[in-house]
Structure 1
Amino acid sequence: MGAAVGLFSICMATGVNAKAKETLQVDFQQAAKKYRVPVKVLEAVSYNETRFDAHNGKPSVAGGYGVMHLTDVSGSTITGTDNTSKVLPDSAALHTLNKAAGLTGYSTKRLKEDTRTNINGGAALLAYYQKKLGHSLTSHANSWYGAVEKYSQDTTKQAAAFFADNVYKTIKKGVTKSGVILTAQKVKPLKDQSEKLDLASVPSTTDGPDGLPVEWVPALYKEFDNKGDYGNYDLANRPSDGLKINYIVIHNTETTFDEATNLFASTPSYTSANYVISSEQGTVAEMVRPQNVAWHAGNWYINSHSIGIEHEGYAAVGGYWYTEAMYQSSAALVKYLAAKYNIPLDRQHIIGHDNVPGLTPAAQKTMHWDPGTYWNWQHYFDLLGVNFKDSQGTGSIVTITPDPDHNLTADSGQKVTDDGVDLPLKGSNFVYLYQQPGFDSSLISDKDFSTSSVGTTEKDDWTDKAVDGQQFYKVGQSGDWTEIDYGGQPAWFYNPNDANTTNATGKLVTPKGSSTIPVYGSAYPTSSILKKNKVTGTKPSPIYTIAPGQKYVYGGEMTSDYFNSHFNSNSGKNVIKGTDQYVQIQFNHRIGFVKAADVTVSDQ
């Protein structure tokens, strides 16, 4: 799961155009006045649906169009590079576009493609829902809670309330984006309006924060034969059994929500996730309890110490973007889990599947690259309460903080490609890394990804990309170019006036002595300890080396262990403890581990 199996041939720019940006505030004001909807409610609904992003008239994976996310799935399909197509799932939530057309008199085509018209459609829907609930078209924002819940098209009390609560939090906090200035306002919505919506209530049998719409959908757990073959996850008792949960791994499904949950729940797929989040409404399926070990990361050590969260969506962005509802739900879940299990809210612990290392050099080449180039880490961490752009001094550690609107420039010849076909530059979450300071230089490469000495612009080539939130040691500066230690080699990226970095504090890890040291994809015990415990076919395998003088950012220390799992057993005896201490580092695009005895850890 999470591998790119259905990549898009569609290519387009994202976001509202410059002219729309200039008039977006006025468009909201005029639509609000026309349909007698409080402008702050209209703007906050749009922000929580799309963050004011029209996505160039293309639909989300949930079939939503425009800044108001008016939905229509009629004939919507996803075409992959293998020329196969999948029809988007149908539901009552995916047909608001036609209703908006009937209320406004505008064509569905115009509602899809014209931002001002789309906003009018959203305003008309809100007014319609308000009247259907028996309420007046009042100017008081507090009296629109029920209509906002209905606008979400959610079918459960928990999901509808989660959306409406986020809308009112936006009004209370305020937001400035894309030319829209929504000033903060004290609000106290009338939540008793929900009673008239007749929504179902989901029993609370799940592990998640209050208010988040989480449903228990158990993954398959059974023996497949009498020879020890079983799936799709392992019983454990984390962290009481000694397996500390250190990571939350962000995936995307490359399938629909239903396909992903069915794969984990109904088939011997040998894969699972602790949670799956839908794009359509941000609803959550808990499938493997956090104390148990889901099979999701492609690295047994990371699996043993992580929670995996799959997100409905497609990494090659096309028009099928990650929705705001999904970001909001995911961030709420991650914030809850991070607090419960004491997981740091940083990019060495809240990681993408693309940040998980392989256990061997051969495995590096097959490791996944989701959630990919267009996952908005900056916005995601904002929702978690972390701002990567908060400067922390003038030291030698930098956080990668590219502006997703301007970090890649067509004038320089930079591009993102899918089998050679151009994808959007805007919305990408990384900076390219070059062998020398200059756009005429070649991109760096990785020995375990390609036999070539030159990197590529392909979306899945993780070897030459430093991603939003990752931290590295700044070696030096040459004009507009910054040099960092990256993956055992020097790497340069375009950084005029520090436009793509923010100073950070932390600890640095460097080899002791004058010899190279190994980098591992796990913190496993020694081979002798594993052999003593009858573990075969597994050993700590170096995947890279670090030369003396190179420095990498510290991500914590841990004692070596191995989860020797067995079917229908969650005994603490399954956790084999070693004696080696390891230090985690941000090594390249992926994290890595070095033995504490091999390195010096120091403040920058």
Structure 2
Amino acid sequence: MRARLRRSAVLLTGALIPASLLIGHPAAATAAADPVSGAFAEAAATYEVPRDLLVSLAYAETHLDGHAGEPSASGGYGVMHLVTSRTLERAAKLTGRPVSALKSDDAANIAGGAAVLRAYADEAGLDAAARKDAARWYEPVARYGGATSPDVARLYADTVYDLLAQGVRGTTTGGESVTVKPRAVEPDRGPYAKAKDLDGPGTLAAAVDYPQATWVAANSANYAVSSRPSSDKIDRIVIHVAQGSYAGTISWFQNPSAKVSSHYVVRSSDGAVTQMVREKDRAFHAGDYNRRSVGIEHEGFVNDASWFTDAMYRSSAALTRNIADRYGIPKDRTHIVGHSQVPGADHTDPGGNWNWNTYMQYVTGGGGGPTNPHTPESVCGSGYKVIDSAALGSAGTVYLLYNSGNGYNCVATIKKTSIGTASATSAYLEVKGKARVTDSGNFAYYAGPVRASAAGQCVKWGGKAGTNVYDSPSEHCG
């Protein structure tokens, strides 16, 4: 028996009982009124996991939708996405709860996810003091995603920490609001610090067919090497919904047991694109259409429209338009089809929440919608000229400018998606030997201008749009 009991529980007939289950206890009323919020608070206290980090991870995985106990494409269950043969069984052992409850009961599932995270924290050597610091949980979070490569594990953990920084406002299937206030956390990446940043610069352009994509290879067991279009004409583009998260889908296609893949995966938040199979090769995504089609997976679940953002539609439509133009594929619904339209398919994606009208308008109309009226020159002012730039996925571009008249540099981040809608955007400039200056917040069109005198001095510069980040080396020293 423990010498001291956690604040969240009391001892009753030898068993540790959550305080929220005690009639008359203040936590009981909170849990009854807001059961999912109560479950997060209870699990966080019981397993000493930062509550906001726990919610951010769950939102990254499922948008807080347990999908009525049905599994994701990779075999994950509940709001915490407990995965069969990995985290699900371990959660059952750690919590003493049956697998059936962990699959279908939100509170049990959340407790299970917290228990697994705590176990990973213990294995990483986090003591009581370290567990109170959300920045120290990076390694446990990266492990939770189950990625088979350090690069994808970093992508997974960075997504969770980006949500923590931006804040979360999620709505459960029962209509309950669950929130996380924005909080800036500089994560301690530990062993993942040297992993490639898949959201950063340095795309392997030689490996991708679409210049805006990042390259992450699928496992060779999940596709067939081919020589299309000489071997098979490519005349279809198939739209899928992954039934999982962006990082989770990328990880699943790297798993040799998956036996599935697609050529591309598109992220919900900002439309970032990862290519995993060369277009010349046959991805295993659409049965009878594998030989003749290119497959595009989209982060999310068919029954939850919150995943299908304007940024995703626009980015995916730009990709589809590019593929269609290169292969001479007509831009119509006969040749751009949903998975459910493939002959013999037993899938329902992209489902009724996918807005085909909007999507096809973007495909045929060059993207449609508003464009950003601002330029880096207009933001920084007269006399400034662009000397460098870096793409922030499809969400925007960060620019470095110089004014030869006064010796000042200027940095501005110009958004390309969510134009006119406030979203997380930042720009910074750091002159060698001086403190970094940053403009960061929720902006409708751009971040900046950030100006500093830098004649003859090396600078570091960068910015962020959505979850895409660019950080330059020390450069432009002349």
When normalised by structure 1's length, the TM-score is 0.38
Higher relative contact order (CA 8 A, sep 6+): 1
